[in-house]
Structure 1
Amino acid sequence: MVHHQIKVVQALLSSLTAGGRGVSGTAFPNQPEKALKLYEFEGSPFCRRVREVLTLLNLDYEVYPCPKGGTKYRKIVKEQGGKAQFPYFVDENTGEKLYESIAIVDYLFKHYGKTGKTPQKYAKYPKYPRVALVGTMINGARGVWIDKKVIHREAPAQLLELWSFEASPYSRIIRGVLTELELPFKLHNVAKERWQDMGPAVLRLKPGKYQPLSGGKREKIIPIMARNKKDIQVPYLIDPNTGVHLFESEAIVQYLQKQYGA
C-alpha cells in the first residue's frame, strides 16, 4: 500500500492540474428541495468537470459511485438512461436526467447559478479532457476500478455523509476510496467563500481566529462539522449506520477499509 502522505502529494498535484477549479464557491447557494443525484466515479475526467461546477455553486448532492467493474449503480444508469455512460445526473426537482458533462454543466448554471448563464471559463471545455486525464494518472488512477473484495456486498442502509470540496487533496483520497468500495454518500460542499478561507485550517492566509462569512454556508455548518466549533476542516465523515464521526483523511481511510472493505 502506498504511504498515505504520498497519496496526499499525488492528490494535490492532481488538484493543481485543474488550475484552481473546485476550490471556491458562492457563500449563498441555491440549494434545491430534493437532492441532486450524480452517478459517477472519482477518476473520470468528465465527472470531474461536473464536480468542479457543483463546488463552484456550492451545492450538496448524492453520489452513487459507478467504478469500472461495479455492479450496483452502473446497472441502474443503464436501466434509466439506456447506456452505461458517466457522469449521469438526475434532478428530481425538474425531472431532468442528463448524460454529457457539458450538458450537465450548462444545466447547473441555468437552474442554480446566479445569472442562468454558463460563465466563459466553463463554456469551452475541450472535447477530450487531456489535462484532467493527466490529473487522474498523477493520482494513481484511484477511484476508477471497483475493489473486487466488495463487488457483491450490499450497500449500507443509510448514505454516508462527507463534507468536502472538489480540489481538497485530502478529500480526493476519501472520495476515491468511497468509489472503489462502491459506497453511496451525500456530499456536502464546503467551498472556500472568500480569500480569508484560503489555506488549511491550521495555516490560513489570514492569521488569527477563523471567522466565516456572516450568513454564508460555512457559518451555518460550523456547528455541525467544525472541530471544537471554532474552525472548518475537511474531509469530515459521518457514518449514520455506525454513529462514527471522523476528521483526518488517514483515519477515515482506515475506518472505511475496515468497516466496508474487509
Structure 2
Amino acid sequence: MLKMANHQFKVLQSVVATLIEGGRGVMGTPQPNQPVKALKLYEFEGSPFCRRVREVVTLLNLDVEIYPCPKGGQKYRQIVKEKGGKRQFPFLIDENTGDQLYESQEIIHHLFKHYGKTGKTPKKFSHYPKLPYVSALASVANAARGVSINKKIIDRAAPAQLLELWSFEASPYTRLVREVLTELEIPYILHNVAKERWQDMGPAILRLKPGQYIPLPNGKREKVVEVMGRDIQVPYLIDPNTGVKMFESAKIVDYLKKQYG
C-alpha cells in the first residue's frame, strides 16, 4: 500500500511538471520523416536542456536511441567525451548526415531542417532563453529525478539488446519510467507515440472522444495498434532480452529495478 501511494505521489509531481511545461511534448505529426539510420541521443531525463530536445523529438514524432548519461554515470558519459571532446548534454549523433551536435538549440535546428515538413524551425522553437527557467522549474517540481545515477543500486552491465519504450514526452506516467531508465543507465529505443489530433487527447480509458478508439488513417498510431492493440496506452515496454511486454508505469518501474538494478 505504501509503495503504491509513493508511486502515485510521484505521478502527481510528474503531472505538475507537465503543467509547468505548458503541455509541450504532447502533440506530434502523424506522418513523421523517420530517418533511415537511428538517431542516437545521449542525455539524461532531468536536464532542462535535454527536455527541450525531447519535446521537439515528440513534435516530429521520431524514434530515437536513448543512451542515458546521469551525473555519476560510468557507461555513456565517457563515450560522449571520446566522440565529441567534452561531457556535455544533450549530445546527438546523426549517422544519416554525419553530424554530431551538443547545443540543444543547434540540435533542434538540425531536427527541423532534416526531419521537419518545411525544413525550417518554427519561431516558437527558434529562440529559447539561454537559461531554461521553465524547464528547470519543472525539474524541481519533479524532485529532480532522472538527474543522477542511483547509487543504491548495484552497477550491472547494460542489457545485450536495447529495450523498447513507447512514450511521448509530456506523459506523466511514462516520465517515471524514463527517470528509472536514466538512473539505471539502461539504453533503449524511444518510440514516440504523440497525440495526432484532438480525439487522441486524454488517458486511454478517458479519451475526449467516447466509444471505440480509431487511430488516424495512415498515421503512426495506426501502425502502433499492431504492437499494443486498439487501446493505445503509454508507457509500454518490450524487453527483447527477457521477452517481457508490459503496460503500467508502476509494474514497469518494479520490473526494471528487479531485473537491472
TM-score range (shorter-chain normalised) is: over 0.9
Q: Which moved more, 1:166-175 or 1:152-161?
A: 152-161
Q: Identify the residue that residue 146 of structure 1 maps to in structure 2.
A: 149
Matched, 1:155 2:158: yes
Identity percentage of aligned residues: 71
Matched, 1:30 2:33: yes
TM-score under structure 1 length normalisation: 0.97
CA distance in 2, matches of 1:177, 1:246: 16
Task: Give the conservation status (yes or no) of the 8 Å contact 1:71–1:152.
Answer: no
Q: Identify the residue that residue 257 of structure 1 maps to in structure 2.
A: 257
Q: Which of 171, 180, 186 pairs up with 2:183?
A: 180
Q: For 2:134, what is the secondary structure of its paired residue?
A: helix
Matched, 1:20 2:23: yes
Task: Give the conservation status (yes or no) of the 8 Å contact 1:87–1:100.
Answer: yes
Matched, 1:80 2:87: no
Matched AA of 1:11: S
Q: Which runs of 5+ in 1 are unaligned?
A: none
The count of residues paired between Structure 1 and Structure 2 equals: 258
Q: For 1:148, what is the secondary structure of its paired residue?
A: coil
Q: Which of 74, 92, 96 pairs up with 2:95?
A: 92
Matched AA of 2:259: Q
Write out aligned runs for 1:181-260 (5 A): 181-225=184-228, 229-260=229-260
Cα shift readout 1:206-255 (whole Å, capped 9, x = no counterpart):
11110100000000111102xxx221000000011111001000000110
Task: Give the conservation status (yes or no) of the 8 Å contact 1:31–1:60.
Answer: yes
Q: Which runs of 5+ in 2 are unaligned?
A: none
Report deviation, 1:152.
3.8
Report deviation, 1:18.
1.2
Write out aligned runs for 1:22-61 (5 A): 22-61=25-64
Task: Give the conservation status (yes or no) of the 8 Å contact 1:27–1:58.
Answer: yes
Report deviation, 1:149.
4.1
CA distance in 2, matches of 1:16, 1:159: 31
Write out aligned runs for 1:85-124 (5 A): 85-124=88-127
TM-score under structure 2 length normalisation: 0.97
CA distance in 2, matches of 1:205, 1:150: 41
Cα shift readout 1:24-60 (whole Å, capped 9, x = no counterpart):
0000000011000000000000000000000000000
Q: Which runs of structure 1 show a deviation greater than 4 angstroms over 4 or more consecutive aligned residues?
A: none
Q: For 1:204, what is the secondary structure of its paired residue?
A: coil
CA distance in 2, matches of 1:23, 1:11: 14
Report deviation, 1:124.
1.4
Report deviation, 1:20.
1.9
Cα shift readout 1:159-201 (whole Å, capped 9, x = no counterpart):
0000000000000000000000000000000000000000000
Q: Which moved more, 1:12-21 or 1:29-38?
A: 12-21
CA distance in 2, matches of 1:71, 1:119: 36
Matched AA of 1:244: V
Task: Give the conservation status (yes or no) of the 8 Å contact 1:70–1:151.
Answer: no
Q: Which moved more, 1:168-177 or 1:140-149?
A: 140-149
Matched AA of 1:55: T
